Amino acid sequence: MELLVVVLIIGILAGAALPQYQRAVHKARLTNALQVAFNIRKAQEVYYLANGNYIGDLYSLDIDYSKSGCIIASPATSIMNCKNTIFDNIVGPVGNPIGHRVSFDYSPDKIVKIDVYFEHSSKPNQIECTGKTDEGIALCKSLNL
């Protein structure tokens, strides 16, 4: 009987701890994804200072993606896969600042959408976090962006 009570208590504790653990894992992975987006933004700003415009081609930016586990599909593309999080380097035409940002949907289940805007954009240096589920909304709030 005592063993049954102990097993029951362990089960209750594990059930309560698992959601907290999952939230912590999501937050850590989302923070890593944000760091990749910040690195892209920084490289874009360096490119902008040198050339007077942003570039849609992630391959041409001065970033070592190999350390972050990121894969660029091919040269001259704006799409990059980093551990199942897809980043889109969105650059509008010169003189049209609306599109200048890095955008990604955080996996798994794309519960959060993040936009990291460049300095010369319609929302200079802003970061927008949009939760697509209750869990995503809670993640956005926990990031304090």
What does the pLDDT look like over 16-73, one tens digit per residue? 777 788 888 888 888 888 888 898 899 999 999 999 888 888 878 888 777 777 777 7
Beta-strand pair 85-90/101-106? antiparallel
Please check the confidence at residue 96 and state whether its pLDDT lies above 70: no
Neighbours of 39 (CB within 10 A): 17
pLDDT at res. 87: 84
pLDDT at res. 12: 80
Please check the confidence at residue 93 and state whether its pLDDT lies above 80: no
Residue 86, strand partner residues: 81, 105
Q: For the chain, give the percent of residues with pLDDT over 70.
A: 90
C-alpha radius of gyration, the chain, whole number:
19
Q: Report pTM.
A: 0.80
Residues found in the chain: 145
pLDDT at res. 45: 92
Q: For the chain, give the percent of residues with pLDDT over 90.
A: 12
Please check the confidence at residue 95 and state whether its pLDDT lies above 70: no
CA distance 56 to 78: 5
Average pLDDT, the chain: 82
Residues 6+ apart with CB under 8 A from 70: 36, 80, 81, 82, 83, 87
CA distance 13 to 128: 35
Please check the confidence at residue 124 and state whether its pLDDT lies above 80: yes
Of 99, 104, 66, which Cα lies nearest the Cα of 84?
A: 104
pLDDT at res. 104: 86
pLDDT at res. 46: 92
Residues 70, 84 contacting (CB under 8 angstroms): no
- State whether residue 49 is helix, strand or coil: helix
